[in-house]
């Protein structure tokens, strides 16, 4: 037969058969069958050409063979994938003989419009490992005999490849790992893309292959021969991988046929089409796109998990640095967990029946950035059904969850909990966004992954060297309750899972139910509700003119307190950054920060606006509802307090203050001492008098307490509410419960003039060793007359030290200044104290300001001198 006739025959056969395969797929959706049929079709064409051009014999000629590699070797040829073939010579002598035939053979295939990638090698060349072309060696792992000298192929398959793999196992594995890790990084190390790539994306077919290759290399290295394919993975893993492979094969086949080219992107239109045609899910009831995509993500997640586990288990013998790192990590082992090669194993396999232990496992993971070993994952999966009957809840669950959220690798722990379906067991509200695709031009990830990425963004601030990250990191370090911010981030978009509603409202509803489950206290709930409810507020304000004072005022008043402003600023930063890697431009980061500064200054400079107890206000209404019986007492108490007072305290706090004020007739000094998570809180309610604030600050210093923050407010009737937040440097209160009473009595004693504060302070200073100054802070004193109608603001910035607040407040009292409001803050070794002052009920004149400034500078200088002496 002439080649021209054969070509035309083959072309007809190829077109007809391809068409038939496509139609069969259209009716059955069976990907594997389509790929196998296409493999056989290509084989039959190769065979006809071989007989025509190379050799009429079945297994001839001697010393020359045709081998299938890559996907063709595996027997799954996708409709538009490359067809990898190897012309294998026994040695280089015969090469020239077949050069022309090989050229003709390949040309014929290209003329049929088949995408053939031919390679010619001798047996010796196949045995050579080339670091720059690892792909070829890897492709040999899938080699399969097609035509020609069978015995030659057997030498390649049975001798050359096993020897090569044993010799180069380490380099092969290392190269594979490097290529795979950088490919994963390109896709943000996550499966959860809104429009995923089913071949190269994490959890795609390439990862399936990598998992098989890694398992194969490791088994060959041990057996010194080809292992049986079914022994590569444990049965449960094998099952998961098989199911994922079937699904991914159908999806990729579908995409190739739909697009008419080697296009592996699962775009939105393709998702609708695939879901409607139940591609890969013929037996399921799912027809909606969201449900179908969930199946996709589920399958991709199992492939990704296996691939990642194998990458992590790679022998640590490559670099001494890596070995040291792993060795160091294994030292993390404790009574509960052992750490081997960065993987967590349980010391007591049955311990997981205790839900606390289960949560501790993820806490351990979140703290150290380790992964769970396969056996640990398996054990967790085993205990979940029994846990589902009575899942942990309430304050205990929140304690663990809050702790997990604040650990540096929280996002990874959350992802692992989510993949094992533990997270949705604990917080079923999250089911609504499990692998949820919400179509949006900007978002890159599914809604759940977006939330994890946002949490990760905040944790990474600390290590980042980018200018903006550092500025936001500083802000983050000032937060009192970061766990509430993280919880808000976890839940902020849950409402996207409720169709046809405003997602913010739906998120709030879900958050309420979540917080009920976690038994958060009312003030914690208020913060989380505020953050979720306002999570679009900054973005919408940025669309206005943020240099316009009115825009700033409206925005700042919605924030109420600097703490909330900080949290919302950080939430917005993380939320934008988690949309896609380019979403947070420096331009946007700067705008958000600019708005933060303007609002922060507004809040600190407008705090003395007075409250009128009869005004209508949500917060006031809430307080009235909580204390309906307080009526008149409440009204008298609130009259004249600054608005900031209400923002600073919860309704429960206000109730306590009203009651304390009611007892003043009996005991003129009312104290409330509580221990918070980060510090102690001392609240004082009493009648105002000169040196009051200074005296309390002095007693605290006398006891060696470090004042971190303080507020002081007074109402029209001259009753003050001062709160001091301090750390107990010598653990006096922490370790001795009986000291609490002595501590309170000593404050009362000083305030009633019964104890000598100066003596107490002198003794303390004598006992103190001068601490090392890490950062030198220059003293700075600024007055601002414009920000309040009734008082003068003074801001004192100075090196923080024991007794500083007492010195400043005493100096102000000596200057006959009344402290209307005090806002005390510490940032590292810098004290930032803001006082709203009046003298004789009016603002300070410029002469008075001058005198106060001189006196303060002298006091602060004298303090330094004293300390040096």
CA 424/CA 227 separation, integer angstroms: 39
- ∠ CA 265-267-270, nearest 5°, is 105
> Is residue 795 a contact residue for another protein (CB under 8 A)?
yes
C-beta closer to another protein: residue 709 or 764:
709
**Residue 202 main-chain phi, psi, to 5 deg:** -55, 135
| Phi-psi region at 773: left, alpha or beta (left = phi > 0; alpha = psi -120 to 50) | beta
Q: Are strands 818-827 and 792-799 parallel, antiparallel or unpaired?
A: unpaired
CA 468/CA 593 separation, integer angstroms: 9
- For residues 679 and 708, is the Cβ–Cβ distance under 8 A? yes
Residues 6-25 close enough to bind another protein by CB under 8 A: none
C-beta closer to another protein: residue 579 or 830:
830
Closest CA to 446 of 430, 459, 425: 430
Q: How far is the CB of 868 from another protein (least distance, A)?
A: 24
Q: How far is the CB of 23 from another protein (least distance, A)?
A: 33
> Is residue 598 a contact residue for another protein (CB under 8 A)?
yes
Question: Which residues are bridge partners to 836 per DSSP?
Answer: 793, 821
Q: How far is the CB of 797 from another protein (least distance, A)?
A: 4
- DSSP string for 576-619: HHTT-TTSS-HHHHHHHHHHHHHHHHHHHTSTTPBP-TTS--HH
- For residues 42 and 83, is the Cβ–Cβ distance under 8 A? yes
Binder to another protein among 16, 225, 381, 590 (CB under 8 A)?
Answer: 590
C-beta closer to another protein: residue 427 or 856:
856
Q: Which stretch binds another protein (CB under 8 A): 94-102, 570-578, 583-591, 650-658?
A: 583-591
- Count of residues in contact with another protein, rule CB under 8 A: 23
C-beta closer to another protein: residue 68 or 595:
595
Q: Which stretch binds another protein (CB under 8 A): 147-155, 191-199, 450-458, 588-596?
A: 588-596
C-beta closer to another protein: residue 405 or 589:
589
Residues 257-286 close enough to bind another protein by CB under 8 A: none
Q: Which stretch binds another protein (CB under 8 A): 26-34, 176-184, 585-593, 785-793?
A: 585-593
Residues 756-785 close enough to bind another protein by CB under 8 A: 780, 782
C-beta closer to another protein: residue 190 or 604:
604
Q: How far is the CB of 546 from another protein (least distance, A)?
A: 8
What is the Cβ-side half-sphere exposure of residue 491, based on CA atoms within 13 angstroms?
A: 30
CA 93/CA 720 separation, integer angstroms: 102
Q: Which stretch binds another protein (CB under 8 A): 4-12, 343-351, 648-656, 826-834?
A: 826-834
> Is residue 588 a contact residue for another protein (CB under 8 A)?
yes
Q: State the CB neighbour count (10 A cutoff) for residue 263.
A: 17
The three-class DSSP label of residue 269 is helix
> Is residue 594 a contact residue for another protein (CB under 8 A)?
yes
Q: How far is the CB of 779 from another protein (least distance, A)?
A: 10
CA 715/CA 700 separation, integer angstroms: 24
- For residues 468 and 586, is the Cβ–Cβ distance under 8 A? yes
> Is residue 177 a contact residue for another protein (CB under 8 A)?
no
Binder to another protein among 72, 254, 297, 600 (CB under 8 A)?
Answer: 600
Strand ranges across the sheet with 780-784: 669-675, 680-687, 719-728, 705-714, 818-827, 830-838, 792-799, 780-784
Q: Which stretch binds another protein (CB under 8 A): 313-321, 597-605, 624-632, 639-647?
A: 597-605
CA 860/CA 342 separation, integer angstroms: 52
Q: State the CB neighbour count (10 A cutoff) for residue 311.
A: 18
C-beta closer to another protein: residue 782 or 858:
782
> Is residue 505 a contact residue for another protein (CB under 8 A)?
no
C-beta closer to another protein: residue 488 or 798:
798
Sequence-distant (≥ 6) Cβ neighbours of residue 91 within 8 angstroms: 63, 122, 123, 124
C-beta closer to another protein: residue 192 or 476:
476
Binder to another protein among 797, 855, 857, 864 (CB under 8 A)?
Answer: 797
Residues 509-568 close enough to bind another protein by CB under 8 A: 542-547
C-beta closer to another protein: residue 780 or 861:
780
C-beta closer to another protein: residue 53 or 475:
475
Sequence-distant (≥ 6) Cβ neighbours of residue 80 within 8 angstroms: 115, 256, 260, 261, 262, 263
Q: Which stretch binds another protein (CB under 8 A): 23-31, 593-601, 608-616, 757-765?
A: 593-601
Q: How far is the CB of 547 from another protein (least distance, A)?
A: 6
Q: Mask 297-336, x = binds another protein (CB under 8 A)?
A: ----------------------------------------
Binder to another protein among 319, 350, 585, 773 (CB under 8 A)?
Answer: 585
Q: How far is the CB of 504 from another protein (least distance, A)?
A: 20
Question: 670: part of which helix (H) or strand (E)?
Answer: strand 669-675
CA 331/CA 835 separation, integer angstroms: 50
Q: Are strands 83-89 and 116-122 parallel, antiparallel or unpaired?
A: parallel
C-beta closer to another protein: residue 411 or 710:
710
Binder to another protein among 601, 706, 716, 755 (CB under 8 A)?
Answer: 601
Binder to another protein among 523, 591, 652, 706 (CB under 8 A)?
Answer: 591
Sequence-distant (≥ 6) Cβ neighbours of residue 670 within 8 angstroms: 660, 661, 663, 664, 684, 685, 686
- For residues 430 and 389, is the Cβ–Cβ distance under 8 A? no
Q: How far is the CB of 554 from another protein (least distance, A)?
A: 13
Q: Mask 827-856, x = binds another protein (CB under 8 A)?
A: x--x-x------------------------
Residues that bind another protein (CB under 8 A): 542-547, 585, 587-588, 590-591, 594, 597-598, 600-601, 780, 782, 795, 797, 827, 830, 832
């Amino acid at each position: 037969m002439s080649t021209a006739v054969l070509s035309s025959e083959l072309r007809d056969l190829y077109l007809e058969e391809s068409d038939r395969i496509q139609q069969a797929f259209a009716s059955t959706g069976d990907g594997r069958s389509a790929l196998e049929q296409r493999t056989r079709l290509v084989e039959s064409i190769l065979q006809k050409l071989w007989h025509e051009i190379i050799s009429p014999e079945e297994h001839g000629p001697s010393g020359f063979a045709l081998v299938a590699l890559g996907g063709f070797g595996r027997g799954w040829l996708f409709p538009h994938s490359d067809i990898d073939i190897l012309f294998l010579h026994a040695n280089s002598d015969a090469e020239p003989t077949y050069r022309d035939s090989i050229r003709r053979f390949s040309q014929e295939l290209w003329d049929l419009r088949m995408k053939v990638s031919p390679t010619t090698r001798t047996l010796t060349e196949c045995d050579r490992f080339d670091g720059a072309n690892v792909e070829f060696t890897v492709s040999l792992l899938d080699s399969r005999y097609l035509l020609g000298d069978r015995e030659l192929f057997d030498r390649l398959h049975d001798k050359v490849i096993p020897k090569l793999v044993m010799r180069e196992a380490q380099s092969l594995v290392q190269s594979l790992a490097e290529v795979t890790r950088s490919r994963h990084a390109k896709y943000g190390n996550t499966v959860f893309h809104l429009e995923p790539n089913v071949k190269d994306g994490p959890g795609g077919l390439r990862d399936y292959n990598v998992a098989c290759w890694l398992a194969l290399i490791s088994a060959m290295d041990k057996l010194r021969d080809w292992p049986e394919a079914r022994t590569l993975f444990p049965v449960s893993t094998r099952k998961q991988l098989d199911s994922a492979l079937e699904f991914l094969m159908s999806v990729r086949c579908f995409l190739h046929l739909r697009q008419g080219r080697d296009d592996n992107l699962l775009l939105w239109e393709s998702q609708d089409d695939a879901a409607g045609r139940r591609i890969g899910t013929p037996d399921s009831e799912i027809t909606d796109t969201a449900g179908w995509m969930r199946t996709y993500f589920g399958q991709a997640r199992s492939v990704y998990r296996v691939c990642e586990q194998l990458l992590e288990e790679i022998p640590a013998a490559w670099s001494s640095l890596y070995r040291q790192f792993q060795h160091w990590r294994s030292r993390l082992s404790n009574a509960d967990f052992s750490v081997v090669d960065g993987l967590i194993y349980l010391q007591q396999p049955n311990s997981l029946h205790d839900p606390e232990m289960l949560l501790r496992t993820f806490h351990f993971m979140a703290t150290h950035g380790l992964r769970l070993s396969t056996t640990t994952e398996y054990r967790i999966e085993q205990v979940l059904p029994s846990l589902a009957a009575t899942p942990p809840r309430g304050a205990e669950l929140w304690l663990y969850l809050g702790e997990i959220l604040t650990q540096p690798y929280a996002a990874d722990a959350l992802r692992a909990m989510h993949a094992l379906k533990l997270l949705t067991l604990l917080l079923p509200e999250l089911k609504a966004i499990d692998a949820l695709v919400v179509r949006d031009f900007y978002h890159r990830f599914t809604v759940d992954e977006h939330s994890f990425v946002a949490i990760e963004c905040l944790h990474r601030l600390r290590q980042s060297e980018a200018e903006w990250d550092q500025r936001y990191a500083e802000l983050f370090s000032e937060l009192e309750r970061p766990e509430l911010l993280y919880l808000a981030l976890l839940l902020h978009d849950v409402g996207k899972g409720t169709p046809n509603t405003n997602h913010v409202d739906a998120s709030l509803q879900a958050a309420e139910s979540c917080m009920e489950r976690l038994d958060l206290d009312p003030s914690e709930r208020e913060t989380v509700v505020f953050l979720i409810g306002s999570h679009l507020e900054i973005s919408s304000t940025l669309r206005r003119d943020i240099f316009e004072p009115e825009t700033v005022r409206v925005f700042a008043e919605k924030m109420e307190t600097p703490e909330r402003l900080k949290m919302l600023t950080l939430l917005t930063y993380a939320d934008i950054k988690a949309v896609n890697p380019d979403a947070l431009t420096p331009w946007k980061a700067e705008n958000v920060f600019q708005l933060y500064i303007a609002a922060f200054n507004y809040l600190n400079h407008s705090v003395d606006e007075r409250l009128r107890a009869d005004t209508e206000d949500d917060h006031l209404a809430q307080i009235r509802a909580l204390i309906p019986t307080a009526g008149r007492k409440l009204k008298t108490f609130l009259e004249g307090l600054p608005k900031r007072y209400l923002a600073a305290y919860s309704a429960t706090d206000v109730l306590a203050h009203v009651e304390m004020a009611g007892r003043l007739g009996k005991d003129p000094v009312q104290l409330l001492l509580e221990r918070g998570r980060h510090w102690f809180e001392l609240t004082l309610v009493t009648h105002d008098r000169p040196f009051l604030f200074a005296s309390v600050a002095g007693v605290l210093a006398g006891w060696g307490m470090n004042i971190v923050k303080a507020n002081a407010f007074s109402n029209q009737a001259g009753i003050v509410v001062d709160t001091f937040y301090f750390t107990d440097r010598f653990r006096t209160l922490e370790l001795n419960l009986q000291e609490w009473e002595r501590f309170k009595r000593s404050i009362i004693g000083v305030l009633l003039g019964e104890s000598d504060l100066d003596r107490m302070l002198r003794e303390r200073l004598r006992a103190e060793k001068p601490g090392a100054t890490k950062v030198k802070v220059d003293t700075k004193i600024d007055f601002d007359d414009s920000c309040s109608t009734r008082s003068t603001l003074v801001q004192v910035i100075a090196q923080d030290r024991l007794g500083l607040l007492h010195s400043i407040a005493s100096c102000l009292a000596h200057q006959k200044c009344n402290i209307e409001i005090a806002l005390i803050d510490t940032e590292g070794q810098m004290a930032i104290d803001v006082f709203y002052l009046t003298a004789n009920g009016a603002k300070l004149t410029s002469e008075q300001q001058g005198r106060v400034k001189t006196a303060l500078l002298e006091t602060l200088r004298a303090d330094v001198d004293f300390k040096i002496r």
